[in-house]
Structures are given as C-alpha cells and as structure tokens.
C-alpha cells in the first residue's frame, strides 16, 4: 500500500489519482484521500473501474452522497454487472432511496443468485408483508445445494428477518439461531477475554485518573453516544443531528485509532495485546490522543459547533475520552437488556461484535458491559449523561428536554422529527430510522420468550 502511494505521487492520470485516493482511504488518511479524490474529479474518470473504486473511496471517507454519485455513474456504464449494481444498491440504501436499492438488488439476484449478501440486504430494506416477501425463494435457495457457510449464514439471517416480519416467530428464531451457530462455528473468539479486558479497564482507570487533563474549553464540541449496538444510538444521533448547532458524523473509528497511534509513537511498535494497550493507556499523553482524534475527523467537520460520534463501542474508552477531550459530553443510551441483546443477536454484523452469535456469550458480555458502565458512572459523575431508549421513544419531548441542557443547547422542535432528516445513514439501522419515532420495539423479545432462557440466565434475570 505504501509503495502504491509512492509510485502514484504527483500522477496526473485520474485513474492513478483514484488509486492513490483509495490507498490513503484504506490507511485511514482521510485528508489525503479526499485531496486525491478531488484531484481525480478535476478531470473526471470515465471508465468503470475508476468510478467504482472512487465510490469505495468516498464510502471509506464517510461521504455517502459522493459515493452514490460515483456508483450511479458506474452503473450507467455497466447496467448489467452484478458487482456494480450491488455497490449502487448499497449506496442508494444508505441515502434512503429504497425503491432504487430494491430494484438494483433484484437485478443482482437475477443475474447472480449466489450473491447472498444482496438477498440479505434486500430483506432488510423494508417491512415484508404476506403479499410482498421473498420467503419461498429464500427457502428454495437454502435447500437447493450444499452452500458455502458464508452464503448459508446470509440467507438464514435474511429468512429469519422476513419470517419475523410475517409474525412467524418460532420459524424466524430457528433460522436466525442456525445462522448464528454456523457463523460462530467459523470464528475464533473467547468472551472471557473481553470480560477480563473490561475488568482491567475499570481497575486501571479510576475516578482520580479520569479527571480532565486540560480545561474544558480547550476540547469542546464532541458528543459521544456510547453503549451497545441496537440500543437506539442511531435514533438518538438523528434526533440530535436535526438541531441547527449539531453535526452528525456517524460511527467513527478514530478515537480507538488515535489511542493505538499514540501508543505506537511512544513505544515504537504496535501493542502486543489488549492487556498491554489497556495498561499503558493510563500512561500516555491524553492531550496527544485528543489531538490525533480531532485531526483525523477534521476533514468531516462543518461550521456547526457541536458534532456527534456514535460508535457504540467507545464505551470502552469513556474514561480516556473524558480525560483527552475535557469539553466532550458522553451520552450513554441504555435499553432493556433482554430486548437489546436479542436485537443484537438477530443482526448479522459484517466484521464486528463477535459476542453476538451465542446467547450465553451475549449475556456474559452484556453483564461485563453493565459493570464497566457502573464504574464509569461512579468515576465520571455528571460528565456521563444517561438516557433510556424506552423513555426516548415513549416521550421524546420529555427525554430531549432532559438531555439538551446537558449539551448546552435548547431543544428545537426539529429534533422530534428525525424521519424528516434526508441525510445518509451508514449503519444497520438505515431503514428503521427513516420512520417516525415509535415504541414498537419495546418488549419485542417477549415474542421469543420460549427460546431465550440461555440469554436470561446469562443476564442474571
């Protein structure tokens, strides 16, 4: 990758500029990636390969509008190519163009029936009904021939989702649990290691250590939404993003990257493992971590004074965030454990959350997460703001009237209509958050009560 950057430096050819942009984006170097992409667009590439790669560059750079435009141009050059259509469909879904996305996924599946990620994504686009669903086709695809395990997993999650939409909860659970079991069987993971890591974080970062390293005015602007996936973090982000003074930036990996980068600068190498990173994180310069984080996201910022970073897993770094960015506000969104955990279980994550494919492991992880959040609550005091998903959807105005003053902002009525936000959503909640606020998901795990005893036992309920 670094050799490619050296060879393409200063290259006038837009194809080489696109290659350079992709290399920077893959390394997380957003300013350089966007500069190279901009240079490529000065003499816009007209060939399929460059346009498709440019769409991937903008996706990696959290620029879904530009990604959609590039993939759309590529689609017009190759309207029957399944890979090109798939990228266009994914970009259209992020943008909320559901009909375009569904039509493109249909064409992918007709041309390449073994493209099972297209089957899964299509199932997630909308609520399936008795008159409009793909259950027969999904069952036929699963029963046709022995499948590679990755394809089986995607088809089983797609079938489970559609069966749930149709109210066939026992059959839905059977499909989801089989898909999860197959995925788990092809993964090396030990939840005990994550539990031990969270216990080590709490032991290393106590209340005294978490005190701000600088005056708050030096690090204002950031709002971190913390918790677990499927807790309502995207809904809350969309509500905050409707405020005139708040910019939503989505799920950013930059704080964890800033921590590892600062470790590497000090030690001259990467950390040997989680334990070393946790232990030495307490000795690193928090200001350097904060500076690296803010520099990484600077290309994404606009003039609004506050911004939201909603990567849920940042709950692991809550104490370090409080120390490195004293002006930041940390918002922990909670959800009833049984509902939250089952919502995680029935979501197929691409490369994250390995604890989510076994109910007992999921419950064990949640208990450790809950213990760490108890620690942060005691250590951070009023630096940590907490809000319950059930309150947010049950009485949105009351919940936001409680939250907004903690951010130094007055509630604006627009915050109560997140479904009117037409900006892109690049998370698993892309379809749901375009609906008006509702409480239909509260208590949703009760439909599967007969199957969730291992989860309840692990949660201690």
Tens of pLDDT, residues 152-179: 999 999 999 999 999 999 999 999 999 9
Q: Is residue 158 part of a domain?
A: no
Residue 333 belongs to domain with CATH number: 3.40.50.300
Shared domain for 388 and 249, answered yes or no, is yes
440/445 Cα distance (integer angstroms):
11
Which of 69, 91, 112 is a domain's end point? 112
| CA 41 to centroid of chain Cα atoms | 28
Shared domain for 104 and 224, answered yes or no, is no
Q: Is residue 131 part of a domain?
A: no
Shared domain for 222 and 368, answered yes or no, is yes
Note whether 88 and 72 are within 8 A (CB): yes
Full-prediction pTM beyond 0.85?
Answer: yes
Residue 75 belongs to domain with CATH number: 1.25.40.10
- Please count the other Cβ atoms lying within 10 Å of the Cβ belonging to residue 271: 17
Per mean pLDDT, which of 220-224, 278-282, 389-393 is the most reliable?
Answer: 389-393
Query: Quick check: 5 pLDDT over 50?
Result: no
What is the residue range of 83's domain?
1-112
Q: Is residue 139 part of a domain?
A: no
Taking all residues of the chain, what is their mean pLDDT, rounded to a whole number? Answer: 92
Q: What was the pLDDT predicted at 216?
A: 54
217/195 Cα distance (integer angstroms):
35
Query: Quick check: 8 pLDDT over 50?
Result: no
Is residue 308 helix, strand or coil?
strand
Note whether 56 and 324 are within 8 A (CB): no
Q: What was the pLDDT predicted at 432?
A: 62
Number of domains, the chain? 2
Q: What was the pLDDT predicted at 207?
A: 86
Shared domain for 338 and 203, answered yes or no, is yes
Mean pLDDT of all residues in 172-201: 97
Query: Quick check: 350 pLDDT over 90?
Result: no
Summarize pLDDT for 223-264 with one digit per residue, the tens. 999 999 999 999 999 999 999 999 999 999 999 999 999 999
61/122 Cα distance (integer angstroms):
24
Q: Is residue 156 part of a domain?
A: no
Query: Quick check: 289 pLDDT over 90?
Result: yes
Shared domain for 230 and 347, answered yes or no, is yes
Which of 65, 82, 112 is a domain's end point? 112
Q: Is residue 98 part of a domain?
A: yes
Write the DSSP symbol of residue 131.
T
The two structure tokens encoding residue 312: 């849920």
Q: Is residue 305 part of a domain?
A: yes
CB-based contacts of 203, cutoff 8 Å, min separation 6: none
Shared domain for 216 and 108, answered yes or no, is no
Shared domain for 99 and 221, answered yes or no, is no
The two structure tokens encoding residue 54: 């440019």
Which of 73, 93, 112 is a domain's end point? 112
Shared domain for 88 and 202, answered yes or no, is no
Query: Quick check: 442 pLDDT over 80?
Result: yes
| Residue among 37, 38, 43 at smallest CA distance from 23 | 37
Shared domain for 232 and 108, answered yes or no, is no
Q: Is residue 346 part of a domain?
A: yes
pLDDT-derived band of residue 426, with 50, 70 and 90 as boundaries?
low
Q: Is residue 94 part of a domain?
A: yes
């Amino acid at each position: 990758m670094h050799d490619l950057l050296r060879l393409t430096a200063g290259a006038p050819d837009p194809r080489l500029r696109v290659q350079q942009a992709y290399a920077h984006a893959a390394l997380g170097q957003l300013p350089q990636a966007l500069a190279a992409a901009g240079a490529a667009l000065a003499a816009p590439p007209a060939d399929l390969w460059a346009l498709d790669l440019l769409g991937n560059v903008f996706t990696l750079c959290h620029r879904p509008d530009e990604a959609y435009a590039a993939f759309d141009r590529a689609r017009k050059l190759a309207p029957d190519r399944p890979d090109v259509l798939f990228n266009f469909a994914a970009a259209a879904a992020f943008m909320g163009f559901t009909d375009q996305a569904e039509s493109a996924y249909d064409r992918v599946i007709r041309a390449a029936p073994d493209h099972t990620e297209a089957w899964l994504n299509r199932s997630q686009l909308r609520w399936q009904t008795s008159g409009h669903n793909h259950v027969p086709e999904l069952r036929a695809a699963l029963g046709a021939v022995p499948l590679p395990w990755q394809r089986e997993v995607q088809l089983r999650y797609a079938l489970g989702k559609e069966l749930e939409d149709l109210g066939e909860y026992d059959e839905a659970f059977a499909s989801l649990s089989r898909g999860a079991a197959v995925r788990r069987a092809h993964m090396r993971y030990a939840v005990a290691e994550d539990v031990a890591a969270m216990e080590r974080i709490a032991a290393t970062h106590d209340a005294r250590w978490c005190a701000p390293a600088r005056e708050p005015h030096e690090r204002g602007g950031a709002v971190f939404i913390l918790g677990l996936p499927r807790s309502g973090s995207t809904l809350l982000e969309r509500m905050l993003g409707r405020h005139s003074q708040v910019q939503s930036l989505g799920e950013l990996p930059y704080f964890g990257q800033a921590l590892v980068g600062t470790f590497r600068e000090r030690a001259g190498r990467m950390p040997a493992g989680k334990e070393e990173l946790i232990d030495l994180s307490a000795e690193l310069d928090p200001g350097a971590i904060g500076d690296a984080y803010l520099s990484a996201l600077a290309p994404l910022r606009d003039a609004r004074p506050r911004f939201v970073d909603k990567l849920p897993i940042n709950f692991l770094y809550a104490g370090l965030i409080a120390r490195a960015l004293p002006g930041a506000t940390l918002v922990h969104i909670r959800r009833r454990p049984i509902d939250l955990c089952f919502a995680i279980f029935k979501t197929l994550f691409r490369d994250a959350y390995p604890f989510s494919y076994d109910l007992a492991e999921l419950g064990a992880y949640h208990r450790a997460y809950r213990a760490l959040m108890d620690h942060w609550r005691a250590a951070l005091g009023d630096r940590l703001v907490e809000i319950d998903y059930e309150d947010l959807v049950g009485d949105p105005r009351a919940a936001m009237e409680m939250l907004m003053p903690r951010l130094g902002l007055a509630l604006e009525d627009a915050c109560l209509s997140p479904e009117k936000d037409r900006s892109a959503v690049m998370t698993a909640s892309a379809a749901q958050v375009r609906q008006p606020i509702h409480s239909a998901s509260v208590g949703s795990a009760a439909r599967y009560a007969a199957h969730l005893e291992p989860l309840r036992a692990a949660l201690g309920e």
